[in-house]
Amino acid sequence: MISAATDFPPVRLLIVDDSSTVRAILRAMLSGKKEIEIVGEAVNGREAVALTGKLRPDVVLMDIRMPVMDGREATAEIMAECAVPIVVFSSLTHGEEARTSIDMLALGALDVIAKPDLSDQQAVDECSRMLVRKIRTASKVVVVRHLRGRMRKPVSTLDTQAKAPGKAYAALGIGSSTGGPAALRGLFSRLPADFPLPVLLVQHITRGFSNGFVEWLQQYTSLAVRIADSVDKATPGTVLVAPEGRQMEVFPGGGVRAFSPKPKGVHLPSADVLLSSVAGAYGRNGIGVLLTGMGADGVEGLGDIRKRGGLTIVQNEESSVVFGMPGEAIRRGAAELVMTPEGIADFLLSIVEPTFGVEEA
């Protein structure tokens, strides 16, 4: 039945969890929510794969640790056979389970949310609100099949002026959101430990999972990956990740600050804030990259870099999980180059030079 309040049909949800207690709590949390209809429940990954094919839900809410088949393998099978939006429901935000959660995002899941402390009613209520929001958002994303083991061939659309003679680049800023882990893995796995530029990254991720994301990403790159301190320094061969709940900015000379709690729109951290600071700190020697994601965060900042004469690159549509951010950057004229994450890495390696003698912004 269509809700008069929304005039849209409810999101058809499949719950996957081996705990009958958790499934009952989820039913209670989502009961009365006209935006969501629970159409089925599975107790392991194998049942989840079968019910997804049979019921064709709009969204799957997926546990990780289950018998018969775990959430990681179920996510891979669903995304390969009958792709639907998946939201990971994780009991831990650190350690192996957190890394597995991020791995599931790289396999095609759209988002992750932490299970609440069931003895804390306030935490349960907050989780309920977040679940509804994330399930509704996921239902609007058109996902594509992810065939395991298939590598996309790097494809580029290049501006011939991008590698101007005598032009040295000094820093790389990256904004990434939905689908970002897989894109970042493709990009960073091709960059060597002696990559001569400092890298600054904003990745939109659910609060509590930043440490797990950094641990996960470090498995796939020779670069040093860490969360930025409140006062830090951008150094070659290091990826500084914006911390949760704080904006990250870089300043002339490579000084980094990550302490402002003020959102930019709804984003904290925001790719716009980071990339605009790259434009201000490095001018024509800055590089901005915008990867897959919903909305338009990062487009304004990328435009600032291009206005200052820096290099701007966005992920192409074919390799993006969601083409919102890159597509909007193209539409607004903020993107100079369009290519796959692997293509971005290869191109960067073809143009970077020692950073001495760069122009001041």
Q: pLDDT-derived band of residue 94, with 50, 70 and 90 as boundaries?
A: confident
How confident is the model over 157-169, as pLDDT tens digits?
Answer: 544 344 444 468 9
272 is catalytic: no
CATH number reported for the structural domain that contains residue 292 in this entry: 3.40.50.180
Token output for 205: 């991720």
Residue tagged active-site, from 277, 297, 304, 320: 297
Q: pLDDT-derived band of residue 32, with 50, 70 and 90 as boundaries?
A: confident
- DSSP H helical segments within the chain, as ranges? 20-30, 45-55, 71-81, 95-106, 121-139, 180-188, 210-218, 271-282, 299-307, 324-331, 341-351
How confident is the model over 302-344, as pLDDT tens digits?
Answer: 999 999 999 999 999 999 999 999 999 999 999 999 999 999 9
**33-67 b/e (C-beta count within 10 Å ≥ 16 → b):** bebbebbbbbbbbbbbbebbeebebbbbbbbbbbe
307 in the same domain as 267: yes
Domain total for the chain?
2
Cβ contacts of residue 120 below 8 Å, gap of 6+? none
Please tell me the distance from the alpha carbon of residue 18 to that of residue 41, in angstroms, as a whole number.
10
Q: Which of 114, 139, 164 is the last residue of a domain?
A: 139
CATH number reported for the structural domain that contains residue 107 in this entry: 3.40.50.2300
pLDDT of the residue at 353: 63
Beta carbons of 211 and 114 less than 8 angstroms apart: no
Please tell me the distance from the alpha carbon of residue 130 to that of residue 132, in angstroms, as a whole number.
5
Residue tagged active-site, from 90, 101, 176, 177: 177
Asked whether the predicted pLDDT for residue 120 surpasses 50, the reply is yes
Q: What is the mean pLDDT of the chain?
A: 89
Domain that holds residue 165: 156-351
Residue tagged active-site, from 70, 90, 101, 204: 204
The answer to whether residue 357 sits within a structural domain is no
146 is catalytic: no
The pTM assigned to this predicted structure is 0.89
